Amino acid sequence: MKNPLKNMSTEAKAGAALCLGAVVIFTSAFLLSSGSDQKISVSSNSISQTTSHTSTSSSTSTFTSSVTPIVDVMEEEIIRPYEGNPEVQRYFYNANDSQEIRLKSIVKEEGKTSLYTKSVGNDYAYNDGREFTVIASLSGTVIDKLSDPKFGNVLVVEHRSGVQMLYASLGEMNVNKGDEVKQGEKIATSGTSKYTEEFKSALHFEILKDGKNQNPEKCYSTAIKDL
């Protein structure tokens, strides 16, 4: 008679072998599956991280390249129309100014010994007559560029608000009619004209709002919206 314990042991062994084999197959499948998922996951994270890093870098780069503030031209403050420190040689006429200033605010008419007119702008020049740079007092569009018998070379720039700035007695003019200019941009050099010949190299400057001349010396540092 066969030993049942031996049979059971043999069957058990066979069963165990089958179970073990199943476990090995299952485990291998699991490991392969896990390894595959892990690889995809790591790969995904890597892409995600790279994309995120690239995005951050791109975002930083974009931010860095756009840090220049956008200036609203309606918020501009009127600046002096020149570089350096030329002095006022002729003032805008104001009846309330002192006699000394008023005497420097009238213009003798050419060829007429006793006829004077009121100055409607300012004339700037160095006492030694040296040349200086003329800049845009406000941003705007060059609406006129001409040579006038009395005022010499002339540029007229109109701000978006409608305020106009006239630059006359110019030397070299660096912009043309239709050009857009930025506040502070060089537009010309000082020059000579019959109107300013006594000052040698000079700038005649006017500010007009609604067609009326304003006193430039009282407009500097004033926001255009408050003019």
* Tens-digit pLDDT profile for residues 23-48: 343 344 433 344 444 443 333 343 33
pLDDT at 191 over 70: yes
Cα–Cα distances in angstroms (integers) from residue 63 to residues 52, 56, 59, 70, 144, in the given order: 16, 10, 6, 14, 39
pLDDT at 10 over 60: no
pLDDT at 11 over 70: no
Q: What is the pLDDT of residue 71?
A: 63
Query: How is domain 73-226 classified at the architecture level of CATH?
Result: Distorted Sandwich (2.70)
Q: 57-109 pLDDT, tens per residue?
A: 444 444 444 554 566 778 899 999 999 999 999 999 999 999 999 999 999 88
Q: What is the pLDDT of residue 72?
A: 75
Residue 173: closest CA among 225, 133, 219, 138:
133
Q: 125-178 pLDDT, tens per residue?
A: 999 999 999 999 999 999 999 999 999 999 999 999 999 999 999 999 999 999
Tell me the domain boundaries of the chain: 1-68, 73-226
Q: What is the pLDDT of residue 28?
A: 41
Which segment, 1-10, 97-106, 112-121, is predicted with the most confidence on average?
97-106
> Do 55 and 184 form a contact (C-beta atoms < 8 A)?
no
Residue 156: closest CA among 171, 173, 172:
173
Please state, in angstroms and rounded to a whole number, the distance separating the CA atoms of residues 102 and 119: 9
Query: By CB neighbour count within 10 A (0-12 exposed, 13-18 middle, 19+ buried), where does 161 fall?
Result: middle
Q: What is the pLDDT of residue 53?
A: 42
Query: By CB neighbour count within 10 A (0-12 exposed, 13-18 middle, 19+ buried), where does 90 fall?
Result: buried
For a pLDDT cut of 90, what percent of the chain falls above it?
A: 62
Q: What is the pLDDT of residue 110?
A: 75
